[in-house]
Structure 1
Amino acid sequence: MNPTTPSSAGLAALEARLREDLAWLELPAKRWIPERTLDGRSVMNVAIVGGGMAGLALAAALGHLGIDAVIYDQSPRGFEGPWATTARMETLRSPKQLTGPALGLPSLTFRAWFEAQFGVEAWDALDKIPRLQWMDYLRWYRDVLDIDVRNEHRVTAITPRADGSVALSVTSPAGSETVVARHVVLATGRDGLGGPSVPAFVRDVPRRFYAHSSDVLDYGTLRGKRVGVIGAGASAMDSAATALEAGAASVDLLIRRADIPRINKGKGAGNPGLTHGHVALSDDWKWRIRHYINVQQVPPPRGSTLRVSRHANARFNLGAPVIGIEQVDDELYVSTPKGVFVLDFLVFATGFRIDLASRPEFAPFARHVRAWKDRYASPAGDDDIELADSPDLGPAFEFQEKTPGACPGLERIHCFCAPATLSHGALSGDIPAVSEGAKRLAQGLAATFYREDVELHYANMAAFAEPEVEGDEWTPAPPPPALAEREAK
């Protein structure tokens, strides 16, 4: 089968198989959570902020447990997450066979979706998953599971309340509204609790001279320009390659290290033991493992690096951290230990920072969130700002109060995005273990709902009166003859 001409018949057959799989597993479970109202308004069970892969996987996992969830996403339909917007890689880093958000269902995997349309031979020939094809798969995932996603809905404020609910201020093309949920989950991606990280030395540089690798940017505007890319990770290579392919006059990668990392230590650590066991480790071991991975850094994918190096006007400048930047007319003089680079534009591939205070929608609760730096002092020499700023999460990914009692209802907001990694492991955004993370959080929420309504569930159990035995299934036997004779005497 030609992999460029998908088979709609094959996909329809897969969807029928998925429906059968779900039916055999008795999924989804019947809805069991009692409806609630507040001030005459319906209270939703779970509101998820973010309709990317993590949000979809969680909504599906909740649905399987009989729990309704609504997703709010600010993007237009089909453009949730970074895949079709700010991501610039040609293919995913993850091996194609990883099951991603399939939740243990073979017929829900990318492989099943791909083979149903393009065939086994095309799957065997596939090296890595094309980025836009992954987005197509996620669109199908949403549709085939009938997940409730409200697109072009921006959450502008999240306010925990003492009455057992969380209020969300939401704006959409229809206007502004306030909705109320019993629990809110932040499935907001890499920059989920902050934003792009840029060095302090760029503060005085006019914004027209630079962008972060996660910014929406028309790389066609870089045609003919001398571009500098700061960093050596995957996003640096993707940004550099995109600029070169758009016709940049040159691209200088300014790389702090003397060599580019070559070994993905996180991949080497990946196994079911870590997936399920990280959450139960001591603080020391959690910090030690995640700090080691941070220090070693994840190397850029080989394909992404070759995509850059095949251009003669690409230069890899090792041992060249940026010391300072000076604007001279319409040029940037970028100083490094290797010399001064004269550039027209800079792209910062410098990752993300955790900073709840920088996000207006988190203002009602940001100052109350307990971070790891509030509970743990790192060993000398193992300081790590990213880890220190990570939220200290409870067993259901819930935020915890820095000062007990200072922010009632904070525990009803759950962090299912990258900053949850130190508390729970890499379960809340990366493809390898996102299903396990979604199931862990869904099960935690199910337990919480039951505990909160246990009196009602007990009353329902006591009132349950559906007979399984009618009383006409047997005839009572008479007393034994010997006993009857003795009683007659």
Structure 2
Amino acid sequence: MSLNALVRGGPAGLAALEERLRDDFVTLGWPAKAWITPTQRQAATVHDVIVVGAGQAGLALHVALSQVGIRPVLLDKSPRGFEGPWATTARMETLRSPKELTGPAMGIPSLSFRAWFIAQFGLDAWSALDKIPRLQWMDYLRWYRRVTAADVRNGHEVMAIRPQADGVVELDVKAEGEVTTWQTRRLVLATGRDGLGGATIPAFMQGVDRKFWAHSSDEMDYATLAGKHLGVVGAGASAMDSAATALESGAASVDLLVRRSQLPLINKSKGSGVPGLTHGQYLLPDEWKWRIRHYINAQQVPPPHGSTLRVSRHDNAFFNLGCAVQGVEQVGDKLHVQTSAGVFVLDFLLISTGFAIDWSLRPEFADIAPHVKLWSQRFAPEAGDEDAELSASPDLGPLFEFQGGLPGLDHIHCFCYPAALSHGTVSGDIPAISDGARKLAQGLASLFYRDDIEQHFAKLQSYAEPELDGTEWTAADSAARMRQLQQ
């Protein structure tokens, strides 16, 4: 694609980019030739790899697996084009990551968001862009799926997972109202931020009628909040984005109820984004793994600058610091919210308290949950360094695999946020998603070869493609040659 095409952008530019991408794929030998012998079990197909989730993690893993000759099937319960949170529950105006990060591009420049954006809107527009608009990121992922020909089955919801002693994982999958059993040799959970649980609901919300509150991760029409006095519990990124969306939708007022007396100012997690930790988290001693992740958790990530300004520019937004919520009571059609600073009388509450690893919220994991080894069984932190999130995290093996006593459990790989303590943030967030996908894909290729070693050795022994046909040389008369040399 020429520089002039880059500068101009437009439909022709995108077509030219896709042509360049096709040539890049040829240059890289992508997808690589398949090399694993297809298998069957009980007269039914056994897939090599099934990935649950077709968001950015699942799509990146699809490309990485294709680079090593493995063709995965991706199952996602969402409708096509609405995988992940970007066009459903996310409410930020822009991504929080810098636009320069390559995300799931897998080291292929023409597969990057930058290339996709410039091809359509031009180089000047890219230079002027601050951060990537959220819905534009979803458009990019839709394009990414198309140009990489990912095998995504939308409307497929996993209802149960049963690892078997023979190394096959069975899945009950619901699609079009019918449940069928699928089989795979390796199962990858690319299920996002709440991959092993769901929204954290504080105890003070127990018994409160659901018509008076929602979690910030719920799908809901914020227009229904118009004219209401709203409270938002929390002060993280999702709290700010939810508050801003409510204000923009006509809320009469928004009170942010913030436990801390001061918002955190520094995003400590940015200070950990170096290749040594990206690639080396798994190799660290347990004490250091815990210390780093706990420090980041304890310091807390501040809400983004833009998201905070998006709230504070409204005169009817109120930042109530040092207001820890202690109880919530329904009084008629109002909520009386008791805080450490007093009582707020509100019409509706938005709870923005993040996510928790909670197997009880994911019935599809019922067969494996009791057997998964957790970090609480592996490591006891020093007094004062306790961390519920970290204790509940799965203790994963070197290739993100679950560990525990259930036969076949290690054929399930946790490629979602709860892997962070074992492997670092390489299984969901934009900065290092390609690194995590490549690590897992190459590891899975190694496991398949190991598991089928006798079969592959037999192929090696029977390999008979000639390199030479015998006409490339003439055998010397050694005796005559030696006499010749003696003269």
TM-score by length of 1: 0.96
**Cα distance, 1:23 vs. partner?**
1.3
Q: How far apart are residue 175 of structure 1 and its match?
A: 2.2
The 3-state SS of whatever aligns with 2:422 is helix
| 1:79 paired residue number | 82
Alignment-derived partner of residue 97 in structure 1:
100
Q: Deviations over 1:415-441 (max 9, x none)?
A: 000000000000011000000000011
SS at match of 2:431: coil
Q: Deviations 1:232-279 (Å, cap 9, x if unpaired)?
A: 000000000000011111000000001111101010121111111111
Q: How does 1:439-478 map to 2 (within 5 A)?
A: 439-478=438-477
- Superposition deviation, residue 170 in structure 1: 0.7
Aligned counterpart in structure 1 of residue 241 of structure 2, from 227, 238, 241: 238
- What CA deviation, in whole Å up to 9, does each residue of 1:150-180 have, x standing for no partner? 0011110111111210011111116221110
Partner of 1:113: 116
Range with bigger deviation, 18-27 or 301-310: 18-27
Give structure 1 regions of 4+ aligned residues with deviation exceeding 2 angstroms. Answer: 479-485
Among residues 12, 16, 19, which one is paired with 1:13 in the alignment?
16
Cα deviation, residue 355, structure 1: 1.3
Post-superposition offset of 1:21: 1.3
| Code of the aligned partner of 1:391 | P
CA distance in 2, matches of 1:277, 1:365: 28
Secondary structure of 1:43's counterpart equals strand
**One-letter code of the match for 2:389?**
E
CA distance in 2, matches of 1:315, 1:142: 42
Counterpart of 1:202?
A: 205
Match of 1:247 in 2: 250
- Correspondence 1:409 to 2:408: yes
Aligned residues: 480
Aligned residue for 1:292?
295
- Report the AA paired with residue 22 of structure 2: R
What is the distance in 1 between the residues matched to 2:162 and 2:14?
42
Secondary structure class of the residue paired with 2:478: coil
Q: 1:63/1:482 Cα in 2 relative to 1: closer, same or farther (>3 Å)?
A: closer
Match of residue 149, structure 2, among 146, 149, 154: 146
Q: 2:431 aligns to what?
A: 432
Q: Can you list the C-alpha shifts for 1:446-470, whole angstroms capped at 9, x where unaligned?
A: 1100000010000001000000100
CA distance in 2 between partners of 1:33 and 1:300 (Å) = 46
Structure 2 counterparts to residues 85-484 of structure 1, below 5 A = 85-173=88-176, 175-401=178-404, 404=405, 407-481=406-480
2:104, 2:434 within 8 Å by CA — same for their partners in 1? yes
C-alpha spacing 1:323/1:317, structure 2 compared with 1 (3 Å): same
What secondary structure is seen at the aligned counterpart in 2 of 1:136? helix
Q: Is the 8 A contact 2:9 2:123 kept in 1?
A: no
Instruction: State the AA in 2 paired with 1:31.
Output: A
For structure 1, the 5+ residue unaligned runs are none
Q: How many Å separate the matches in 2 of 1:174 and 1:154? A: 10
Superposition deviation, residue 90 in structure 1: 0.2
SS class of match (1:316): strand
Mapped contact 1:357–1:367 kept (Cα < 8 A): no
Question: Contact between 2:328 and 2:335, CA under 8 Å: does it hold in 1?
Answer: yes
2 CA distance for matches of 1:11 and 1:434? Answer: 24
Quote the offset at 1:358 in angstroms: 2.5
CA displacement, residues 351-395 of structure 1 (integer Å, 9 cap, x when unaligned): 001012321100111100000001000111000000000000001
- After superposition, the Cα gap between the structure-2 partners of 1:212 and 1:471, relative to the gap in structure 1 and judged at 3 Å, is same
- Provide, for residues 28-69 of structure 1, a one-character-per-residue CA deviation record: whole Å limited to 9, x for no partner: 210001110001111001111111110110111101110010
Q: Is the 8 A contact 1:93 1:301 kept in 2?
A: yes
What letter matches 2:370 in structure 1? R
What is the root-mean-square deviation in Å for CA atoms of aligned residues? 1.5
Residues 32 and 89 of structure 1, relative CA distance in 2, 3 Å threshold: same
The letter for the 2-side match of 1:200 is A
**3-state DSSP of counterpart to 2:50:** strand
Shift of 1:476: 0.6
Counterpart CA distance in 1 for 2:104 and 2:131 is: 17
Which amino acid letter does the alignment assign opposite residue 438 of structure 2? K
Say if 2:226 and 2:251, in contact at 8 Å, map to a contact too: yes
Distance (whole Å) between structure 2 residues aligned to residue 6 and residue 303 of structure 1:
28
Distance (whole Å) between structure 2 residues aligned to residue 357 and residue 437 of structure 1: 27
Q: CA deviation at 1:483?
A: 5.6
CA distance in 1, matches of 2:456, 2:229: 67
**1:26 corresponds to which of 7, 21, 29:** 29
Superposition deviation, residue 480 in structure 1: 3.2
CA contact (8 A) 2:9 2:118 kept: no
> Which stretch shows the higher mean deviation, 354-363 or 95-104?
354-363
Where 1:261 maps in the other structure, the secondary structure is coil
Corresponding residue to 1:40 among 33, 37, 43: 43
Deviation digits for residues 321-352 of structure 1, max 9, x if unmatched?
10111110110000112110001110111000
Distance between the aligned counterparts of 1:6 and 1:216, measured in 2? 35
Matched-pair contact (CA < 8 Å) for 1:48–1:185: yes
Q: Which amino acid aligns with 2:149?
A: D
Q: Is the 8 A contact 2:232 2:239 kept in 1?
A: yes
Q: TM-score, normalised by structure 2?
A: 0.97
Whole-Å separation in 1 of the counterparts to 2:123 and 2:328? 53
Instruction: Quote how far apart the aligned CAs of 1:25 are.
Output: 1.7
**Partner-residue secondary structure (3-state), 2:116:** helix
